[in-house]
């Protein structure tokens, strides 16, 4: 099975680090033209300077800010074709339900649920015109199971799964397939910063495979779902967690 994205335009949000960066790198290696987002203005400038290719452009977008989001949506409206959309941008802030700040609720829902909706609304219009599209929303195991201090995050990811299922029913007749991928524990730079080595080992021991995922484990599934090799998987949530939710 040979997968390539030559001639395809791929949008990946949250593409400057972690899972999103791996997904972007893999699409690039497979020949895609890329539209990428991140939140750090200095990093976006650096990445655009580094990339001399006309096949890759980064946009600075803060999905917690309506004006930043709208500017990006206006840019999307200038594009004639988007073949693949990966909604990967996400944030998490943990707290007990009775201590959650309203601001945190608003920000998490804005990035994790409202932004995918707004982006999907734009790209679906293009995809319907072109009678082709693949959309993959990056959800989470905490959109499948619950954990203390994750009530707001889980609400956003359960919601993203609902958005995935309902939109998949609407768009399938236009040859647009919509799916979600729900990663488990993934070993990224951010994970290493927020968890100690002993905490990582303790969590890994609860996973049947006895390790965290690497970003490539997640990207491999995303790439397949977004490719022409996927012709009939639609409205599904693929859990990539080493068996954690079933343990």
Residues 33-89: pLDDT tens digits? Answer: 999 999 999 999 999 988 766 799 999 999 999 999 999 999 999 999 999 999 999
At residue 112, the pLDDT reads 98
At residue 1, the pLDDT reads 80
User: Would you name the residues annotated as active-site residues?
Assistant: 153
Please, are residues 156 and 232 in contact by the beta-carbon 8 Å criterion?
no
More confident residue, 222 or 1: 222
Two structure tokens written together for 236 = 């599904």
Please, are residues 140 and 183 in contact by the beta-carbon 8 Å criterion?
yes
pTM for the model stands at 0.96
Two structure tokens written together for 118 = 């707004």
pLDDT tens digits, 99-145: 999 999 999 999 999 999 999 999 999 999 999 999 999 999 999 99
Please, are residues 96 and 149 in contact by the beta-carbon 8 Å criterion?
yes
pLDDT tens digits, 141-173: 999 999 999 999 999 999 999 999 999 999 999
Two structure tokens written together for 18 = 């972690």
φ, ψ for residue 109, nearest 5 deg: -70, -35
At residue 161, the pLDDT reads 98
- As a whole number of angstroms, the distance between CA 163 and CA 150 comes to 20
At residue 35, the pLDDT reads 98
At residue 52, the pLDDT reads 65
Two structure tokens written together for 233 = 């998987």
H helical segments located in 77-196? 102-109, 115-130, 151-171, 189-194
At residue 190, the pLDDT reads 80
Look at residue 241 and tell me whether its pLDDT is greater than 90: yes
What is the edge-to-edge ordering of all strands in the sheet holding 33-38? 56-60, 33-38, 9-12, 84-87, 133-138, 176-183, 237-240
- As a whole number of angstroms, the distance between CA 35 and CA 27 comes to 11
- Candidates 76, 58, 49; CA nearest to 17 is 58
Q: What number is the average pLDDT over the span 3-22?
A: 97
pLDDT tens digits, 181-211: 999 999 998 888 888 999 999 999 999 999 9
């Amino acid at each position: 099975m040979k997968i390539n994205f030559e001639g395809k335009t791929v949008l990946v949000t949250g593409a400057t680090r972690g899972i999103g960066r791996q997904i972007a790198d893999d699409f690039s290696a497979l020949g895609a033209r890329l539209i990428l987002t991140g939140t750090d203005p200095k990093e976006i400038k650096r990445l655009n300077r580094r990339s001399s290719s006309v096949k890759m452009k980064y946009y600075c977008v803060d999905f917690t800010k309506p004006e930043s989001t709208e500017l990006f949506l206006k840019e999307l409206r200038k594009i004639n074709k988007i073949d693949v959309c990966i909604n990967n941008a996400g944030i998490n802030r943990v707290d007990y339900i009775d201590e959650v700040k309203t601001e945190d609720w608003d920000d998490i829902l804005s990035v994790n649920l409202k932004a995918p909706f707004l982006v999907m609304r734009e790209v679906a219009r293009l995809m319907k015109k072109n009678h082709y599209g693949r959309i993959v929303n990056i959800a989470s195991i905490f959109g499948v199971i619950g954990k203390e201090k994750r009530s707001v995050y889980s609400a956003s990811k359960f919601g993203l799964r609902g958005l995935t299922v309902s939109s998949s029913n609407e768009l399938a007749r236009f040859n647009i397939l919509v799916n979600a991928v729900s990663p488990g524990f993934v070993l990224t730079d951010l994970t290493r910063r927020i968890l100690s080595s002993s905490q990582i080992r303790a969590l890994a021991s609860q996973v049947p495979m006895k390790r965290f995922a690497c970003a490539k484990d997640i990207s491999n599934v995303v790439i397949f779902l977004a490719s022409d090799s996927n012709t009939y998987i639609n409205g599904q949530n693929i859990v990539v967690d080493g068996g954690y939710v079933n343990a």
